[in-house]
Amino acid sequence: MGSSLTLHPDMFILAATLEYIVLPSDLSASVVTRSTYGRLGLLSATAVHVHPGYKGCLTLELVNHGDTAILLYPGLRIAQIVVHRAGEAAVPEKTKYRLVTEPEFPKLWEESDIAVLWYLSTKAGERGAEPLTFA
């Protein structure tokens, strides 16, 4: 079955699904751990929402919250996707994670709250500081 990985207690890794999905603009989805693995202490996604219009492989955030190691290998069915109607077309205009085909590391530099915190910590106390604006 290929190489394996031992996920020890309190260990965290990023993994990608083998499936490449394409959600239409009127559907969203949730990723949940299959109960068999959840009972071992495995949490397969901490960011469970998949936005309408998403295209790519899903990045799973795997955490072992159990007391014993869990052996993982490619193709293991540890999670499942639940599809939801999103109502009216709801494709976000801009998203950080699109067309993903491998585990995606956090893109913190694209977070607007980082800019807000930087502004507040460096500029807010200065007299005459320009107001903060967002594009």
Q: Which are the catalytic amino acids?
A: 61
User: How far is it, in rounded angstroms, from Cα 133 to Cα 41?
Assistant: 44
Q: Can you tell me whether residue 2 is helix, strand or coil?
A: coil
Q: How many CA atoms lie within 13 A of 15 on its CB side?
A: 24
Token code pair at residue 69: 């190691």
Contacts of 8 (CB under 8 A, 6+ apart): 64, 69
